[in-house]
């Protein structure tokens, strides 16, 4: 189908002797908003790296925008799981975001790059902070700057790996609303442990733990989430989502 932008077919992947993905198949369409949920070590980040072409499947195929992942990733923005930042490094908000327009060691940034940075900062609500040193930002503000870096190339697909990991609950809702707005322009795959988020924000859910237990509308995901996590899962949501996990079976 023409609107399929990511296609996994019978993908297997291992790190040494440890199998991480086993016969995983799914597709992502234009303007999908997908939560990729599962336990630690279940293969979520590996899926993102396969989409980016940073890893190659042992068996099966991955295509991105109808091309090999390393070719299709030029249409993809990526925000990795929160990495360590040396906040004393002499970099402004503008400096961090323009890194997303990197052309290699020879070609310099042009006016189009600078304009794209300002557009991205405006989109995430951080334009007034463009000259601030990164050490002056709160956790939520820094996440918005990193999102701006991921979208500064105006991608058609945005990959987000645990973007709420360093954000306080009061700030999370506004960032989810930002993703909702971005989703009007691009497909989003959102790796998260925040199970409650799927009840309010996400259209489709992928439940992954080596195998893909479920991929479809959020309404049918809870039973398969329990299977993927191998424990009961219940959700209570009011305002900022809260979640409650039932007892594990002894």
For range 41-60, the mean pLDDT: 95
* pLDDT tens profile 204-243: 889 899 999 878 776 655 556 666 666 555 544 444 444 4
* pLDDT tens profile 164-191: 877 777 788 888 889 999 999 999 999 9
On average, the pLDDT of the chain sits at 85
pLDDT at 121 over 50: yes
Task: Please state the domain count of the chain.
Answer: 1
Q: Which domain holds residue 15?
A: 4-86+154-244
134 found inside a domain = no
139 found inside a domain = no
Token readout for 91 is: 């970099």
67 found inside a domain = yes
Cβ contacts of 35 within 8 Å, gap of 6 or more: 190, 192, 197, 198, 202, 204, 205, 206, 218
More confident residue, 58 or 173: 58
- Alpha-carbon radius of gyration of the chain: 18
Q: CATH number of the domain that 23 lies in? A: 3.40.50.300
138 found inside a domain = no
Please give the pLDDT value at position 52.
Answer: 96
27 found inside a domain = yes
Confidence of residue 193 (pLDDT cuts 50, 70, 90): confident
């Amino acid at each position: 189908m023409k609107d399929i932008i990511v296609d996994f077919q019978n993908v297997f992947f291992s790190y040494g002797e440890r199998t991480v993905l086993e016969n995983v198949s799914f597709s992502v369409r234009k303007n999908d908003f997908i939560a990729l949920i599962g336990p630690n070590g279940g293969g979520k980040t590996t899926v993102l790296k396969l989409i980016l072409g940073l890893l190659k499947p042992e068996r099966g195929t991955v295509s991105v925008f109808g091309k090999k992942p390393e070719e299709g990733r030029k249409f993809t923005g990526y925000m990795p799981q929160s990495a360590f930042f040396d906040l004393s490094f002499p970099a402004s908000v503008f400096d961090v975001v323009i890194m997303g327009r990197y052309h290699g060691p020879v070609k310099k940034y042009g006016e189009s790059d600078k304009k794209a940075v300002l557009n991205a900062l405006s989109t995430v609500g951080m334009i007034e902070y463009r000259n601030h040193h990164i050490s002056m930002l709160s956790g939520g503000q820094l996440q918005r700057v990193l999102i701006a870096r991921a979208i500064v190339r105006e991608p058609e697909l945005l990959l987000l790996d645990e973007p709420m990991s360093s954000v306080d609950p009061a700030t999370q809702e506004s960032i989810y609303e930002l993703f909702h707005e971005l989703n009007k322009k691009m497909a989003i795959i959102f790796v998260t442990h925040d199970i409650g988020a799927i009840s309010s924000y996400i259209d489709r859910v992928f439940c992954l733990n080596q195998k893909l237990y479920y991929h479809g509308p959020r309404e049918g995901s809870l039973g398969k989430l329990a299977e993927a996590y191998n424990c009961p899962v219940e959700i209570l949501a009011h305002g900022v989502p809260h979640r409650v996990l039932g007892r594990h079976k002894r």
